Amino acid sequence: MPRFLVTGGAGFVGSHLVEALIAAGESVRVIDDFSSGKPENLPAESAHFELVEADIRDRDAVRAAVEGCEVVLHEAGRPSVSRSIEDPITSHDVNATGTLNLLVAGQEAGVRRLVYAGSSSAYGGSQLLPKSEAHRESPLSPYAVSKLAGEHYCRVFAHLGQIETVVLRYFNIFGPRQDASSPYSGVISLFATALLRGESPRILGDGEQTRDFTYIENVVKANLAAAIRPVEPGVIVNVGCGERTSIRQLFDTLRDVIGADVDPTTGPSRAGDPRDSLADITRLRNVLGVEPSVSLEEGIRRTVAWYREQEVVSS
């Protein structure tokens, strides 16, 4: 039986986790409905890999998926602030109820630990920087509320002693396999692919809003540590780099790395987005023993190289 279940394992973060686990000699089961994940992100058929094609809102499918697993890395979810504003019910059903389904099924099946992909959007309108896990949550969108609800379920189940949980609050993740064709994708993937095509990316707002961008390899390291490290029940850990970059600075760095000669267009700020974001990564270092090893610029170089390859392949 597989030791690990990765929900959303065909997606951006999930597929990198699957790849790292298999490389480490682990057996992995994936549950994914392919609503956003891609089959090509998954490994070829292997004795160390199983696939359950199902939605985490399907309780029977979730029960079958967790059976025999020791650790669940929960990456499945419905992303996007803007999409949650348009359709808050589905965001809640997937992000909150889907997480509850996994916790109940995991507890019944004897799963030891669930590592939850939380979101820095939980901090929302808080003006305090850097964002500490001890700060009060202030969600600004249905997406943020739904992800925070999943966090609360994780903490409650852990404090009741029903299943160990670790909540990883992701800051802005980027890297290879992030789907730039989706309007809900991360800004780095959208900017990079536009610049590679000689097009002008669109900066929303004045471009001075800031984010803590973290490369996918740093996120994988945090998850692998969270799966095995002894921790307090329901602990929350920020996953970022502890560096603050404006959207305009990001654009300039990408333009320099790519060698493009275009300027951005501008548009109105997006409702529900915080102005500034910066992770306090003290717990990441002290609780999980993880130090971000890939800088923003190095991560951008690797990501641009991957998108360049995809552009060549697809042309």
pLDDT in tens, 259-295: 999 999 999 887 778 889 999 999 999 999 999 999 9
**181 found inside a domain:** no
C-beta separation of 239 from 177 below 8 A: no
Look up the pTM and report it: 0.94
Please write the tens of the pLDDT for every residue from 110-168. Answer: 999 999 999 999 999 888 999 999 999 999 999 999 999 999 999 999 999 999 999 99
Please check whether residues 167 and 302 belong to one and the same domain: no
| Span 288-313, pLDDT tens digits | 999 999 999 999 999 999 999 986 44
Residues 201 and 107 in one domain: no
Query: How many CA atoms lie less than 13 Å away from 92 in the CB half-sphere?
Result: 8
Residue 139 belongs to domain spanning: 4-174+214-240+279-293
CATH number of the domain enclosing 108:
3.40.50.720
164-170 vs 49-53, strand pairing mode? unpaired
286-292 contacts: CB < 8 A, separation 24 or more? 287/229, 287/231, 287/235, 287/237, 288/222, 288/225, 288/226, 288/229, 288/231, 288/237, 289/225, 289/229, 290/218, 290/221, 290/222, 290/225, 292/214, 292/215, 292/218, 292/240, 292/241, 292/242
Q: Which pLDDT tens digit goes with each residue over 234-252?
A: 999 999 999 999 999 999 9
* Same domain (yes/no): 38, 14: yes
Q: Is the pLDDT of residue 48 over 90?
A: no
Residue 202: CATH number of its domain: 3.90.25.10
Q: Verify that 92 and 140 share a domain, yes or no.
A: yes
Considering the domain architecture, whether residues 124 and 197 belong to the same structural domain is answered as no
In a domain, 180, yes or no: no
Task: Quote the pLDDT of residue 179.
Answer: 86
Same domain? 153 vs 261: no
Catalytic residues: 143
Let me know whether 64 and 90 are in one domain.
yes
Give backbone dihedrals phi and psi of 313, rounded to 5 degrees, phi first: -65, -40
Q: Please give the tally of structural domains in the chain.
A: 2
Same domain, 123 and 137: yes
116 lies in some domain: yes
| Assigned domain for 139 exists | yes
Structural domain contains residue 11: yes
- Whether residues 225 and 304 share a domain: the answer is no
Residue 109 forms part of a structural domain? yes
Minimal CA–CA distance to 154: which of 110, 192, 98, 82?
Answer: 98
Whole-number average pLDDT of the chain: 94
Task: Confirm whether 90 is domain-assigned.
Answer: yes
In a domain, 23, yes or no: yes
Q: Are residues 93 and 196 in the same domain?
A: no
One domain, residues 135 and 227: yes
**116 and 9 housed in the same domain:** yes
